[in-house]
């Protein structure tokens, strides 16, 4: 996953995970309005699971995670990078 300016988010994610550090860029979970109710129900289902270490809990949590997209702010050029399930969109902030 790269920004149009060439910044590699994936490279910096791997480096941060390896060193157990925070990512060097801001990122956000994004859920579409159409899927928000389904996402909340999936989160509730996961939280109602009694054993938080069970396969069932992680299966439910994975279902909730399937509703999320992500938005990253490129630390090099400031673009907003919206990573959706099937596409990536780039936005430039207006002054």
| Same domain, residue pair 37 and 61 | yes
Q: Say what the pLDDT of residue 22 is.
A: 93
Per-residue pLDDT reduced to its tens digit, 68-93: 999 999 999 999 999 998 899 999 98
With beta carbons less than 8 A apart as the criterion, state whether 8 and 24 touch: no
Number of domains in the chain: 2
Range of the domain at 14: 1-31+69-95
Q: Say what the pLDDT of residue 46 is.
A: 93
Q: Say what the pLDDT of residue 1 is.
A: 85
| Same domain, residue pair 81 and 94 | yes
Distant-in-sequence contacts of 41-50, Cβ < 8 A, 24+ apart: 42/66, 42/67
Q: Say what the pLDDT of residue 8 is.
A: 95
Q: Say what the pLDDT of residue 94 is.
A: 80
SS3 category, 24 = coil
| Same domain, residue pair 61 and 74 | no
Listed in sequence order, the residues at least 6 apart from 13 whose beta carbon sits closer than 8 Å to its beta carbon are: 23
Q: Say what the pLDDT of residue 78 is.
A: 93
Q: For the whole prediction, is pTM greater than 0.95?
A: no
Separation between Cα atoms, residue 91 and residue 64, nearest integer Å: 26
Per-residue pLDDT reduced to its tens digit, 9-40: 999 999 999 999 999 999 999 999 999 999 99
């Amino acid at each position: 996953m790269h920004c149009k300016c060439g910044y590699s988010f994936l490279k910096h994610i791997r480096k941060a995970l390896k060193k157990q550090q925070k990512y060097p860029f801001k990122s956000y979970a994004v859920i579409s309005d159409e899927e928000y109710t389904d996402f909340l129900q999936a989160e509730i289902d996961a939280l109602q699971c009694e054993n938080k270490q069970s396969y069932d809990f992680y299966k439910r949590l994975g279902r909730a995670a399937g509703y999320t997209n992500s938005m990253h702010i490129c630390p090099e050029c400031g673009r907003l990078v919206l990573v959706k399930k099937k596409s990536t969109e780039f936005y430039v902030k207006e002054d």
